[in-house]
Amino acid sequence: MPAPEPTDLVAALAVLRDRVDAMRLGLELPDVADARRSKLEVVRQVDDYLLPRLGQLDAPLLAVVGGSTGAGKSTLVNTLVGADVSPAGVLRPTTRSPVLLCAPEEVRWFEPGRVLPGLARTTGAADDGSPRSLRVVPHPAVPPGLALLDAPDIDSVVAGNRELAAQLLAAADLWIFVTTAARYADAVPWDLLHTAQQRGTALAVVLNRIPPEAVDDVTSHLGSMLADNGLSRAALFPVPEVPLATGRIPADAVAPLRSWLVGLATDAAARAEVVRGTLDGALRSMAQRVPALARAADEQGAAAAALRAEADEAYAAAGRDVDDGVRGGSVLRGEVLARWQEFVGTGELLRTLQARVGRLRDRIASAFTGRPLPDAEVAQAVESSVESLVRAAADRAAERTTEAWRGRPGGAALLGSAPELGRVSPGFADALRDEVRAWQGQVLQLVSEQGAERRTAARLASFSVNGAGLLVMLAVFAHTGGLTGAEVAVAGGTSALSQKLLEAVFGDAAVRALAAQARQDLLERVDALLSAEADRFRSLVLAAAPEPDAAIGLRAAAADLERARRDSLAVSRPAPAVAGPAGPAGRWGRRPGRPR
């Protein structure tokens, strides 16, 4: 056998395997089940076959015996070794855990960590029924250089058996596919045979239980079907229907198959050709299988981007709604207006202000002398009004996003896993209250900093920081859009009074700057809150969808592997068929190889 392959092929394969394994396919798109299955198959074949085989090219050839329920796989295996090593019978499934037969001196090749490293190893003749274990049975009838593995049914009624059968076939150097004269045209076997063709797996087909009078016709027909499906190099072995002797097929009925297998075991060059051909075919198949996964990643990424865009737009609209509410004066409704009227009144004071604006600056201190400012109640009313505005906007954003997601591919399934997303998060109210209070504190800080200048400080001292801060808050909601009737008059008076009082303390330019800065701070805090709410949706998509560069990484890894494969293996075409005993269809004893 040739020396182990260069490490760059192993390294390229390991990189590809890790990128495939890391790719998330969590969005429930129409074809995602196929993509997930393909992803699992690629990872398993790399783990179970490609990496172990590249690390030990001189290990025995592993022939997996697979096929449909009742095709006679276990009976065939028992016949080939002349002992009841694999359970056979009428009950289904008979093979519950796979059985691997090898020469006693070659057991070391099948220790844990080598071929099929994910399966636990058991020994002995009994089938313990564990579907995720591999029963290794050394037997002197198995020639060195060859191992036979009796796999579960490919169409087993037990889903785990079907999955394991496919996994074992993907880990084979050679498939010995067993079917019957009654079932060789069934769809399920041909699905597996097409997989063999696509992956370049060496293949032998055993056509079992053929009525003696129909051997020529049935064998010829199956041979034509194989050729039509690109499997003309498959070795075909007909086995006529004959009475069993002590539960086994008569030796002469399987003599061609036994001789062919022994020939492979004893011919190092022929064995190496089969191993390298299947290995190269499996590596070649990655050039189609991995780009298909990359396309699935692209589809997942596009669906994820659409879902994120829906959430982003809904919460951006919520931010605009809050901005409109702040600028439009709707915060000044209800409780705020009532508390403001209690604070300053709306009658004589406003008329006095309108008549004496020119003298307002000089009279501001005396106008409020001896009268405590009940600003706390107005501040609480502002706090409550702002909270109501933001909470309503956040609720609408959650509802809009969930409604939009239900109409998007993958969105409904995500919502099914997180039904609470249709409303604001449980901690939103507390976080909103904290932010509004922090904003009010920041406004007071701005007022205090603005009043640090000596003359301004004197005027501010007569008015109090809290009172001036409250007026700045009211000035933030300066417009009256969204209000009607008496509300407009009261709110307009509120804004005008706030503006005039502030100008009396700070001056016109400073008032505009204070109000703008306070409004900007409030909106930034609201945006942060809404973004945190939108993150609930974004994080759900992020956890399900592939990384943004997953598809690019997969394509690059597939290209690197193909370059390494061409440089390392360069497998030649199979040699001409080995001569063997002539069969009814002229196909017995043909050497298995890669499909054309």
Q: Phi first, then psi: what are they for 101, rounded to 5°?
A: -110, 130
Rounded mean pLDDT, 248-275: 94
257/302 same-domain check: no
Is 354 contained in some domain? yes
Residues of the chain with pLDDT > 70: what percent?
A: 72
317/423 same-domain check: yes
Q: Which domain holds residue 541?
A: 297-550
Is 438 contained in some domain? yes
Return the pLDDT at 454.
41
Crossing angle of helices 268-327 and 187-199, in 10° steps, is 100
Rounded mean pLDDT, 158-176: 90
166/306 same-domain check: no
399 or 454, higher pLDDT: 399
The alpha helices in 23-88, defined as continuous H runs, are 32-45, 51-55, 73-81
254/319 same-domain check: no
* Residues 439-459: tens digit of each pLDDT: 888 877 877 776 555 444 444
Alpha carbon distance 303, 346 (integer Å)? 56
Confidence of residue 376 (pLDDT cuts 50, 70, 90): low
Return the pLDDT at 554.
98
Confidence of residue 277 (pLDDT cuts 50, 70, 90): very high
Rounded mean pLDDT, 463-474: 59
Q: Are 405 and 309 in contact (CB under 8 A)?
A: no
Return the pLDDT at 570.
52
Is 118 contained in some domain? yes
Distances in whole angstroms, Cα of residue 527 to Cα of each of 478, 520, 521? 20, 10, 10
CATH number of the domain that residue 247 is part of: 3.40.50.300
Q: How many domains does the chain have?
A: 2
Confidence of residue 379 (pLDDT cuts 50, 70, 90): low
Alpha carbon distance 59, 549 (integer Å)? 38
319/374 same-domain check: yes
436/476 same-domain check: yes
Is 13 contained in some domain? no
* Residues 403-447: tens digit of each pLDDT: 999 999 999 999 999 999 999 999 999 999 999 889 888 877 877
- Mean pLDDT, all residues of the chain: 80
Tokens of 16: 């590809």
588 or 449, higher pLDDT: 449
104/177 same-domain check: yes
Question: Which SS3 state, helix, strand or coil, does residue 49 take?
Answer: helix
Highest mean pLDDT among 70-74, 361-365, 371-375, 509-513 belongs to 70-74
159/233 same-domain check: yes
Among 70-84, 176-190, 437-451, the minimum mean pLDDT is found in 437-451
Return the pLDDT at 333.
53
- Burial of 581 per CB tally in 10 Å (0-12, 13-18, 19+): exposed
196/315 same-domain check: no
Return the pLDDT at 117.
86
- Contacts of 188-193 with C-beta under 8 Å, sequence gap 24+, read 188/68, 188/154, 188/155, 189/67, 189/68, 189/154, 190/229, 192/66, 192/154, 192/166, 193/226, 193/229, 193/231
344/214 same-domain check: no
Rounded mean pLDDT, 203-209: 95
Return the pLDDT at 198.
86
52 or 376, higher pLDDT: 52
214/346 same-domain check: no
Alpha carbon distance 339, 377 (integer Å)? 7
Distances in whole angstroms, Cα of residue 64 to Cα of each of 101, 148, 171, 202, 248? 10, 6, 8, 11, 19
435/512 same-domain check: yes
